[in-house]
């Protein structure tokens, strides 16, 4: 970090920076002094941790407020009314996808028909390869015997994603149109994006009943923010001349929005659609924690009983679904309309639509006669759960494997993780806050520092300090380990165009996986232990780090590396003196994302068994403890926001100072 | 204002900034562009009074940032002006309601943009038919009309293409066709050919002159290219820092620049190509012998001027002598001697 402070000094006017760095050092000095006093036994207990008596009962207050809104203001009645409509919608998709006995009593749609339609859509969007991916995913799902649970998941997704799209689009338009709305929405969005998902789940359960409805609501809310952001961004980017052309064509306000703005913002809106779908998938899997049946619930159950083979198979299904949905929606973004010559007959213009319909009808009819076309029975599927399970367990039982994982576990736990955790816990609360403020001040300046002070003080006031510190410890240690692995990998890959492409593709693909998936390899290797927690976060956080390292290095303007070459720099000199400094702001964005991912993952890891906020959060799900749930969620959010504000500010400042585009 | 004045603007101001109206009211009258900028405001259009007559082609010219695009956007109220008045076809456009303004644009105005401003998701035909669709014409008539205009600009056979499938010149033809679809009386062109390659630009200028020859519209044309202005204009308005420095015929601008800025601007122009015999003719001098045509430029007459010996040469329009041209004065222009 000293290095970073130096760069800042170079980049901006000297005087202000000097005082900023100096002040941060002073703060750290005080923090060290406080900690040493504590070690010497001289610090009064009240300065070590906030005494219980001083902690305001936030949870209680919140509960009072929630109850007031819920019962006295009649919000519960209102949401229960919404629930009915939502339930109806979910019943329709549930009937169609997996044959739940509800109106319209048509389903289930045969798996062959779904696979055929997926193939046609895939072909339309991206040629044969996409068609193979689409069909392959659904054929795999059916053959492996997971059709029903996969369709349970899909049926919720099919309701939640369009809902999130329309709400996000509407709010995005409002935020773009009215600055006041924009200003009101921005901070809410940043909190929402850092709020742990357990905090979405409990209110959903309380207000919308357990099961698919609550799952759909939580999923929808979770997926709305990026849609709002992308809509606003897209509308702002419409070229002024196109708008003026619309005006001069005599558009009314509504016509302008409908015919000029929205179509011109197509790309950004479709990117938003892609993000909505992916976030929905990630969340819908996680709604397993509130009893939503489907792939997530099955995975949770299988991992809980350490059935690795079946977990692995479900993992593959989820990954395939994620990749298919992601690739197809991304192909839709870049798909440009093709023109038809004049007088092309109607059927030629709509040939794909007709093929899709024909395939659908054909398989629906065929399924009436050939039973395997309709459904793969219990005995017919190709699931190798048991065999894979034995295989994995045999592999893990091999001596070299056991020795390696055992050694990693031992070194990590005994030498690194536990001492680090104990050290963090031994720091007095005020000293800890001072360190955070110093960090924010040195990197981001005054504003992030003030926010950091307020946010962490609130965390201290919440009374969940120790658990917050443990959460933070998991995040910091996992991200640090991820840095040590991810950045060198990125640097190595960026050296050749071919490898950059490959690793970027791998990262892109990995980022589409629902976060739940990352638990599987960690649990496989390290069982249900604390090491698994750090490992799963590590894998998850490594992806953005590697990715942004490559992107940062690759966006260094070629004339600068050429200038370095001509100046006779060695590869190492070029990397250290030219490429890394210029790539650092971009890498910081990746670092920030890694931290946000880590905060997300650490909560999911509660499932493995941790002692942090996530664990407490998960416990609240069993009851109706809304106040406590919120306090815990906000604690996570506040810590994450402090990092977010600081690092993004630093990255933006650096980019500006270096004259790089945003 | 005569009956044939189509656009008349008086003391028009357009100021960008936090609270432009209040600033304009409190501002001293003799504030310069830089004074205004020092106060944190930008004078996009600065006290402009100008009139455009029916069938006339007014070319507004100036360097980038001189306010020419802003001024033309004030004419169609794409920008709300800060002060002054603009009257279009007898209507004060600042007093129009939104509905009336939309009606005006739907029926009387067409505009062509520098980077075309085409809608990327619509085919050529749909783009051209867009203004017709906005005013609610039925599908069949608007298709007929759009086909007609597409043919007029020479894009037959490309009706079903999307803008990204066309070259720049073709895209601008679509832009022109779209602006003509509603048969506007007033035609605004904002640097329509600036984004095109020089060769295409030339071709499009010819095309434009051909169209104008057929349609005879009232035109406000913006350009930063003096040669283009001279080729096309009936009158040229030269703008600098939001204000009009001079508004006159090309001949007068070249012969009698009103300000130092205009003089510098016209310095490198080959005056012999711009100045016409008609301008040099003086009514009180008659001259003798064969008259020359008033529309001939000095360059056209070069050979005659050098070989002729008459001190004063008669000038005629359509066979009627309107005056005599001093041969030495004309020669001076030809030889760039001032």
Tell me the pLDDT of chain B averaged across its residues. Answer: 90
Predicted confidence at residue B308, as pLDDT, reads: 87
Residue B241 has pLDDT above 50, yes or no: yes
Q: Cβ(A619)–Cβ(A287) under 8 Å?
A: no
- Nearest chain B residue to A261 by CA distance is B119
In the beta sheet, which residues pair with residue B323?
B315
Contacts of A255 in chain B (CB under 8 A): 134
Burial of A287 (0-12, 13-18, 19+ CB in 10 A): buried
Report d(CA A378, CA A254) in Å as an integer. Answer: 54
Interface of B with A (CB under 8 A): 73, 76, 78, 102-103, 105-107, 109-111, 113-123, 130-131, 133-135, 159-162, 164-165, 175, 178-179, 182, 188
Q: Which of B105, B121, B123 has its CB closest to that of A248?
A: B105
Mean pLDDT, to the nearest integer, of A572-591? 91
Q: Cβ distance B155 to B173 under 8 Å?
A: yes
What angle do helix axes A295-304 and A519-526 make, rounded to 10 degrees? 10
pLDDT tens digits for A4-32?
444 444 444 444 556 788 899 999 999 99
| Mean pLDDT of the A518-532 span | 84
- Label each residue of A304-336 as H, E or C: HCCCHHHHHHHHHHHHHHHHHHHHHHHHHHHCC
DSSP state at residue B47: E
The pLDDT tens digits of the residues spanning A69-113 come to: 888 888 888 888 899 999 999 999 999 998 888 888 887 899 999
- As a whole number of angstroms, the distance between CA B173 and CA B116 comes to 9
* Measured torsion, CA atoms of residues B255, B256, B260, B262, in degrees rounded to the nearest 10: -60
pLDDT band at B48 (very low <50, low <70, confident <90, very high): very high
Q: How far apart are CA B14 and CA B71, in angstroms?
A: 8
DSSP A402-449: HHHHHHHHHIIIIIIIHHHHHHHHHS-HHHHHHHHHHHHHHHH-HHHH
Q: Which is it for strands B235-240 and B57-61: parallel, antiparallel or unpaired?
A: parallel
Tens digit of each residue's pLDDT (9 = 90 or more) over B130-180: 999 998 999 999 999 999 999 988 899 899 999 999 999 999 999 999 999
Q: Do the Cβ atoms of B281 and B296 come closer than 8 Å?
A: no
Identify the closest residue of chain B to A344 by CA–CA distance: B160
Nearest to A340 among B109, B115, B160 (CB): B160
Task: Give A251→chain B minimum CA distance, Å.
Answer: 6
Percent with pLDDT over 70 in chain A: 97
Angle, to 10 degrees, between the axis of helix A626-658 and the axis of helix A465-494? Answer: 40
Residue B266: partners with Cβ closer than 8 Å, 6 or more residues away: B226, B253, B254, B257
Is a pLDDT exceeding 60 seen at residue A165? yes
CB contact under 8 A, A245 and B118: yes
Q: From A560, A586, A566, A561, select the one nearest A495 (Cα to Cα).
A: A561
Distance CA(A153)–CA(A134), nearest Å, equals 17
Give yes or no for a cis peptide into A198 (omega within 30° of 0).
no
What pLDDT was estimated at residue A4? 45
Q: Residue A3: is its pLDDT beyond 60?
A: no
- At B241 the three-state DSSP class reads coil
CA–CA distance from A591 to each of A97, B79, B227, B231, B282 (Å)?
Answer: 40, 44, 55, 59, 80
Please list the residues that pair with B45 across neighbouring strands.
B14
| Of the listed ranges A12-21, A640-649, B47-56, the one predicted with least confidence | A12-21
Chain A residue with the nearest C-alpha to that of B128: A249
Contact A273, A329 (CB under 8 A): yes
Question: How high is the pLDDT of residue B3?
Answer: 61
Measured CA to CA, the distance from residue A375 to residue A99 in angstroms comes to: 11
Q: Smallest CA–CA separation between B198 and chain A, in Å?
A: 22
Do A204 and A214 contact (CB within 8 A), yes or no? yes
Smallest Cα distance from B102 to chain A, Å: 5
The shortest CB-CB distance from A239 to any of B78, B115, B161 is to B115
Distance, in Å, from the CA atom of A421 to the CA atom of A473, rounded to the nearest integer, reads 6
Contact with chain B for residue A400, Cβ under 8 A? no
CA distance, residue A67 to nearest chain B CA (Å): 45
- Distance, CA of B89 to CA of B108 (rounded, Å): 9
Q: How many alpha carbons fall within 13 Å on the CB side of residue A573?
A: 9
Q: Contact, A507 vs A547, CB < 8 A?
A: yes
Q: If you measure CA to CA, which chain A residue comes closest to B109?
A: A248
- Residue A447: pLDDT over 60: yes
The residues near A606 (Cβ < 8 Å, ≥ 6 apart) are A198, A612, A614, A615, A617, A618
Q: A339 vs B114: CB contact, 8 Å cut-off?
A: no
pLDDT at A662: 66
According to DSSP, residue B95 is labeled G
- CB spacing of A244 vs B102 below 8 angstroms: no
Instruction: Return d(Cα B279, Cα B297) in angstroms, integer.
Output: 10
CATH number of B54-80+95-271: 3.40.50.300
**Residue environment code for A592-624, b if the CB has 16+ CB neighbours within 10 A, otherwise e:** bbbbbbbbbbbbbbbbbebebbbbbbbebbeee
Asked if pLDDT for residue A127 goes beyond 80, the answer is yes
In chain A, positions 205-244, which contact chain B (CB-CB < 8 Å)? 239, 241-242, 244
The answer to whether B115 contacts A245, with C-beta atoms less than 8 Å apart, is: no
List the single residue in B78, B164, B178 with the smallest CB-CB distance to A247.
B78
Q: How many CB atoms lie within 10 A of CB B25?
A: 10
Length of chain B: 338
Strands B218-223 and B57-61: parallel
Per CATH, B54-80+95-271 and B272-334 having the same topology is answered no
CA-closest candidate to residue A50, choices A600, A465, A643, A518: A465
With contact defined as beta carbons under 8 Å apart, do A61 and A627 qualify?
Answer: yes
Instruction: Encode pLDDT of A200-209 as tens digits.
Output: 888 888 888 8
- Mean pLDDT, chain A, integer: 89
For residues B167-187, one letter each, b for 16 or more C-beta atoms within 10 angstroms of the residue's C-beta and e for the rest, the string is ebbbbbbbbbbbbbbbebbbb
Name which of A241, A251, A342 is nearest B117 (Cβ-Cβ). A241
Sign of the dihedral through C-alpha A137, A138, A141, A142? negative
Question: Is residue B195 within 8 Å of residue B227, measured between CB atoms?
Answer: no
Q: How far off is chain B from A244, nearest CA to CA, in Å?
A: 7
CA-closest candidate to residue A593, choices A482, A449, A445, A456: A482
CB atoms within 10 A of CB A395: 12
Angle at A507 between CA A505 and CA A508, to 5 degrees: 65
Give the number of other Cβ atoms within 10 Å of residue B318's Cβ.
8
Residue carrying the six token digits 């800042």: A8
Of B106, B160, B175, the CB nearest to A250: B106
B221 forms bridges with which residues in the sheet?
B59, B189
Mean pLDDT of A146-151: 92
**What confidence tens digit (pLDDT) does each residue in A32-58 have?**
999 998 888 888 888 888 888 888 888
pLDDT on residue A15:
47
Domain spans in chain B, listed from the N-terminal domain onward: 54-80+95-271, 272-334
Omega cis (within 30) before A108: yes
Looking at the predicted structure, is the pLDDT value of residue A1 above 50?
Answer: no
Residues A555-573 have a mean pLDDT of 88
**Dihedrals φ, ψ of B47, to 5°?**
50, 60
User: pLDDT tens, A362-376?
Assistant: 999 998 888 888 888
Sheet with B292-293, strands from edge to edge, namely B292-293, B312-317, B320-326
pLDDT at A10: 46
The pLDDT of residue A17 is 54
- In chain B, residues with a C-beta closer than 8 Å to the C-beta of A263 are 119-122
- B162·A255 Cβ contact <8 A: no
pLDDT tens sequence across A194-253: 888 888 888 888 888 888 899 999 999 999 999 999 999 999 999 999 999 999 999 999
For residues B191 and B71, give the distance between their C-alpha atoms in angstroms, rounded to a whole number: 13
Q: Strand, helix or coil at B280?
A: helix
pLDDT-wise least confident of A132-146, A388-402, A450-464, B79-93? A388-402
pLDDT higher than threshold 90 for residue B81: yes
Question: What local confidence, expressed as pLDDT, does residue A2 receive?
Answer: 42
Whether B86 contacts A214, CB under 8 Å: no
Architecture in CATH for domain B272-334: Roll (3.10)
Place of tokens 């129009």: B96
Please state the φ and ψ torsions of residue A43, each to the nearest 5 degrees: -85, 130
d(CA A596, CA A479): 10
* pLDDT given at position B124: 94
**Tokens 């001032």 appear where?**
B338
DSSP B97-144: -HHHHHHHHHHHEEEE-TT----TTS-HHHHHHHHHHHTT--HHHHHH
Residues 248-307 of A with CB under 8 A from B: 248-252, 255, 259-260, 263-264, 266
Domains of chain A (ranges, CATH numbers): 81-108+158-304 (1.10.3720.10)
């Amino acid at each position: 970090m000293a290095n970073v402070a130096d760069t800042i000094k170079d980049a901006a006017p000297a005087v202000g920076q000097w005082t900023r760095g100096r002040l941060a050092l002073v703060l750290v000095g005080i923090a060290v002094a406080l900690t040493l006093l504590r070690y010497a036994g001289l610090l009064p207990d009240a300065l070590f941790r906030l005494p219980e008596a001083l902690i305001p009962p936030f949870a209680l207050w919140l509960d009072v407020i929630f109850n007031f809104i819920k019962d006295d203001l009649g919000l519960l009645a209102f949401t229960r009314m919404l629930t009915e409509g939502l339930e109806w919608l979910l019943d329709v998709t549930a009937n169609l996808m997996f044959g739940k006995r509800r109106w319209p009593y048509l389903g289930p749609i045969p798996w062959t028909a779904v696979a055929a339609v997926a193939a046609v859509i895939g072909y339309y969007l991206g040629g044969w390869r996409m068609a193979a991916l689409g069909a392959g995913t659904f054929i795999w799902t059916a053959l492996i015997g997971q059709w029903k649970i996969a369709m349970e998941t899909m049926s919720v997704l099919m309701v939640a994603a369009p809902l999130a799209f329309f709400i996000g689009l509407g709010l995005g338009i409002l935020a773009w149109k009215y600055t006041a709305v924009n200003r009101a929405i921005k901070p809410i969005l940043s909190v929402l994006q850092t709020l742990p998902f357990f905090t979405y789940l409990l209110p959903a359960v309380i207000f919308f009943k357990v099961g698919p409805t609550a799952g759909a609501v939580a999923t929808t809310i979770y997926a709305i923010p990026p849609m709002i952001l992308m809509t606003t961004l897209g509308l702002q980017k419409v070229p002024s001349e196109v708008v003026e052309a619309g005006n001069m064509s005599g558009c009314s306000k509504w016509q302008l929005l409908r015919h000029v703005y929205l179509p011109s913002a197509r790309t950004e809106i479709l990117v938003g659609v892609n993000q909505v779908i992916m976030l929905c998938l990630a969340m819908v899997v996680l709604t397993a924690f509130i009893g939503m049946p489907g792939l997530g619930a099955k995975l949770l159950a299988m991992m809980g009983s350490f059935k690795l083979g079946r977990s692995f198979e479900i993992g593959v299904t989820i990954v395939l679904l994620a990749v298919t949905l992601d690739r197809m929606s991304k192909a839709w973004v870049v798909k440009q309309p093709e023109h038809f010559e004049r007088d092309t007959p109607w059927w030629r213009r709509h040939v794909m639509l007709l093929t899709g319909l024909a395939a659908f009808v054909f398989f629906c009819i065929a399924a009436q006669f050939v039973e395997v076309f309709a459904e793969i029975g219990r005995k017919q599927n190709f699931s190798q759960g048991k065999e894979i399970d034995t295989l994995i367990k045999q592999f893990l039982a091999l001596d070299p494997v056991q020795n390696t994982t055992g050694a990693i576990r031992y070194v990590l736990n005994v030498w690194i993780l536990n001492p680090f955790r104990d050290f963090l816990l031994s720091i007095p609360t005020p000293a800890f806050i001072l360190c955070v403020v110093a960090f924010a001040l040195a990197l981001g300046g005054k504003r992030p520092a003030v926010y950091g002070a307020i946010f962490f003080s609130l965390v201290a006031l919440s009374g969940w300090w120790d658990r917050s510190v443990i959460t933070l410890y998991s995040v910091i240690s996992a991200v640090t380990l991820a840095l040590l692995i991810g950045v060198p990998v990125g640097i190595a890959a960026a050296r050749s165009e071919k490898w950059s492409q490959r690793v970027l593709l791998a990262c892109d693909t990995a980022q589409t996986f629902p976060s739940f998936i990352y638990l599987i390899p960690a649990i496989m290797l390290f069982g249900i232990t604390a090491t698994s927690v750090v490992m799963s976060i590590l894998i998850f956080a490594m992806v953005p780090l590697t990715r942004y390292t490559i992107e940062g290095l690759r966006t260094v303007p070629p004339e600068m590396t050429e200038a370095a070459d001509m100046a006779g720099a060695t590869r190492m000199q070029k990397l250290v003196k030219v490429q890394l400094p210029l790539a650092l702001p971009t890498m910081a964005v990746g670092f920030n994302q890694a931290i946000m991912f880590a905060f997300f993952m650490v909560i999911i890891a509660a499932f493995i068994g941790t002692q942090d906020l996530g664990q407490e959060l998960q416990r609240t799900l069993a009851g109706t403890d809304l106040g406590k749930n919120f306090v815990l969620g906000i604690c996570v959010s506040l810590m994450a926001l402090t990092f977010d504000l600081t690092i993004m500010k630093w990255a933006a400042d650096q980019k500006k100072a270096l004259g790089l585009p945003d | 204002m005569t009956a044939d004045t189509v656009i008349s603007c008086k003391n028009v101001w357009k100021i960008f900034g936090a609270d432009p109206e209040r600033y304009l009211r409190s501002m001293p009258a003799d504030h310069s562009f830089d004074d205004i900028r020092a106060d944190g405001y930008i004078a996009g259009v600065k006290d402009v009074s100008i009139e455009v007559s029916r069938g006339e082609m007014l070319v507004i010219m100036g360097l980038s940032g001189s306010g020419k695009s802003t001024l033309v956007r004030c004419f169609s109220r794409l920008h709300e002006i800060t002060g002054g008045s603009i009257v279009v076809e007898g209507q004060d456009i600042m007093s129009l309601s939104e509905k009336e303004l939309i009606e005006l644009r739907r029926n009387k105005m067409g505009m062509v943009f520098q980077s075309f401003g085409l809608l990327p998701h619509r085919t050529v035909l749909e783009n051209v038919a867009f203004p017709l669709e906005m005013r609610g014409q039925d599908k069949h008539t608007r298709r007929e009309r759009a086909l007609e205009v597409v043919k007029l600009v020479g894009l037959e056979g490309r009706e079903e293409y999307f803008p990204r499938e066309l070259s720049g010149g073709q895209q601008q033809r679509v832009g022109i066709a779209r602006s003509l679809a509603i048969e506007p009386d007033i035609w605004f062109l904002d640097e329509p050919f600036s984004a095109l390659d020089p060769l295409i630009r030339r071709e499009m200028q010819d095309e434009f002159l051909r169209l104008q020859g057929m349609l005879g519209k009232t035109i406000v044309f913006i350009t930063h290219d003096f040669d283009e202005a001279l080729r096309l204009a009936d009158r040229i308005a030269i703008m600098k820092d939001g204000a009009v420095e001079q508004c006159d015929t090309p001949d007068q601008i070249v012969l009698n620049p009103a300000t130092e800025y205009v003089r510098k601007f016209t310095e490198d122009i080959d005056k012999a190509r711009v100045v016409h015999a008609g301008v040099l003719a003086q009514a009180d001098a008659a001259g003798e012998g064969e008259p020359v045509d008033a529309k001939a430029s000095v360059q056209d007459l070069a050979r005659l001027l050098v070989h002729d010996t008459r001190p004063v040469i008669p000038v005629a329009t359509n066979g009627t002598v309107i005056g005599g041209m001093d041969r030495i004065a004309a020669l001076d222009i030809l030889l760039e001697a001032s």
